[in-house]
Amino acid sequence: MENYFEAGKTKIRTMRTMLFFSIALMAIKFTAYFITHSVAVLSDALESIINITAGAFALFSIYYAAQPKDIDHPYGHGKIENISAQIEGVLILIAGISIILKGIYSFFHPPELEKLDSGLVLAGFAGLCNFFMGNYLIKKGKYYNSLIMIADGKHLITDTVSSIGLIIGLGVIYFTHIFWIDNLLAIIFGAVILWAGFKLIRESVFNLLDKADIEKLNQLIDILNKNRRTKWIDMHNLRILKYGSQLHIDAHLTLPWYETLEQTHEEVRAMEKIIKENMGDEIELFIHADPCPTSSCPLCAVENCAHRKFPFVKRLKWTIENIIPDTKHII
């Protein structure tokens, strides 16, 4: 994986490219609306404005998050990605409400639909582009651990789902001439968009409140169990904090009390190396070394220990249940 600053440049280039494509797709969708006069097509086009606005916020937040740490921001600037995701979620909510209101209004003031076949082609092309763009952004966002890239990708996938429903609806209208279906579709799309905005806001709030990332914790614990060294007697008080795409990992590692500070430091460095090799460079670790108490002897697999007070019983497998509490383990 690239280093932190190279990753930041790659993310900026990616979001800039996505923003350019979003502008082009918006032009296509509004062209489809002016051709068909369909409220459902208009709702799809209006969401593109939200895509562009959200993309611009995302681009700025990724640029800002990539700035180096300073005195005022010792943990970096990554939290802005969560703020940007919240803004995007609010914009999505506004778009959903606007689309629903427009759909309701059109029940009483129905527009005259035209050239639905051309609208189908344009909507299908735009939806296909959004599908590929959305999946690409989600893939890149997971690779770089970027919430705002994942959020933008999910937004585009939601747009794709709306486009699929739009194509089906326009097709039904084209063959049946039941025009009120257009308004119903707009209301349904608005509700789907509202739900997507709510989920995005909820996730960004959870991240700002440092809610535990269970998936990342399980991944880390699995890595540590598979690569565990003999002198790593025990571990507890494990935490992962997210600052944008950066992960800050805290933990207490129990090591033999009689070893030198240099030997202890070597074990901590070995753990850091293993974690970074498996989880990437955008990780900062704070490993606190604890001296082993006599109660840890039954857990300790160190052979020929001259200071052992109790015989070795078994090595405790670390799990999310026993490694997070701030308590040394005993048998």
How much is the pLDDT for 98? 75
Q: How far apart are CA 153 and CA 130, in angstroms?
A: 9
Q: How far apart are CA 323 and CA 218, in angstroms?
A: 11
Q: Which letter, b or e, does each residue of 42-77 get, where b requires 16 or more Cβ atoms within 10 Å of its Cβ?
A: bbbbbbbbbbbbbbebbbebbbbbbeeeeeeeeebb
Q: How far apart are CA 273 and CA 113, in angstroms?
A: 63
Q: Which two tokens stand for residue 226?
A: 């598979």
101's CB contacts (< 8 A; 6+ apart) are none
How much is the pLDDT for 203? 77
Which structural domains are found in the chain, ordered by start?
Answer: 4-208 (1.20.1510.10), 214-323 (3.30.70.1350)
How much is the pLDDT for 44? 72
| Strand order across the 246-255 sheet | 234-243, 246-255, 283-291
| 39-65 helix and 4-36 helix, angle to the nearest 10 degrees | 170
First to last CA, the chain: 40
Regions in the chain scoring below 50 on pLDDT:
1
How much is the pLDDT for 155? 74
Q: How far is CA 236 from each of CA 221, 310, 323, 331, rounded to the nearest angstrom?
A: 11, 21, 4, 15
Chain-centre distance of CA 74, in angstroms? 23
Q: Could you say which DSSP state residue 120 is in?
A: H
Type of residue at 253: L
Q: How far apart are CA 141 and CA 137, in angstroms?
A: 6
How much is the pLDDT for 5? 59
Per DSSP, the three-state class of 307 is coil
How much is the pLDDT for 259? 92
Q: How far apart are CA 165 and CA 196, in angstroms?
A: 16
For residue 232, which phi and psi values (nearest 5 degrees)? Answer: -80, 85
